[in-house]
Amino acid sequence: MRTCDARHVGACHTIIDPRLRIDPPQHLIFIDVANACLVRRPGRCKYVALSYVWGKSGTPFQTTKDNLDELLRPGALDRYRMSIPDTIRDSMAFVGSIGQRYLWVDRFAIIQDDNAHTNAQLKNMAGIYFNAYFTIVAAEGSDDTYGLRGLPSSARPRLLQARSLDFSSTSSFYYVLRSHHDTGKYDERGWTFQEYELSPRKVIFRNNGVEWNCCQYLWGEFEAKPHFRGRISHTPSYGFFRIEAVLFHGYAV
């Protein structure tokens, strides 16, 4: 992330060419992870977005017209901590651990029983994900109770298979066995496809690992060096994000 911040200005972030940009909504509702509450902030502020699947966990806790004022009070989310799905709770902890403050999550950023607000936010999905500092992609699990495995805040650890090669009685080499191209509920949803493709920078939790994916690099936690992107579609000079924004806008509404 620091490498992308320093070296990819204008390519992965801070894109100023009006032909390539997607404007953010004027105002949004975020989770303020420092004060454990919801806040209203300009859409141009620095924030992290979450892309995940709700699934069928049946967790009813979300923003409604009745509880919005309460959730805007500092500390409100601490009082409902155990009602927050694991994936969202772990994302809040992750965002705070890297020094960021605002997290956009549809369950809380959209007033679920306000049709006018919901429709307005759905029309703005392209701008929301395009303008995020980065997007957390929770691609594992079948619902929002799975969490982000491998984080200190997660109650459930990752299950990693490892093998060792013994070179001598004092020297061994360990390597992790990982399954690639695993597909789950995340890869089956149109909404998550839209969120994934419209996010220029992503931290992806999948295959029992974490990956960084931006317009220039693909970099997994088990890899010593990044892979350089070769896909034209993710090169900003081709205006890919703006083209997709137009296509997805029609799909979303």
Question: pLDDT for 190-227, tens place per residue?
Answer: 889 999 999 999 999 988 888 999 888 787 776 655 66
For 69, 184, 237, the CA distances from 122, given in Å and listed in that order, are 22, 24, 27
Residue 2: predicted pLDDT = 81
Residue 16: predicted pLDDT = 67
**26, amino acid identity:** Q
Q: Which domain holds residue 204?
A: 2-252
Q: pLDDT tier at 181 (50, 70, 90 boundaries)?
A: low
Between residues 68 and 229, the one the model is more confident about: 68
Show the beta-strand stretches assigned E in the chain.
Answer: 27-32, 37-42, 48-51, 102-104, 134-138, 161-166, 172-177, 202-206, 209-213, 217-220, 227-228
Indicate the number of domains in the chain.
1
Residue 222: predicted pLDDT = 64
Residue 157: predicted pLDDT = 67
Beta bridge partners of 17: none
Residue 83: predicted pLDDT = 94
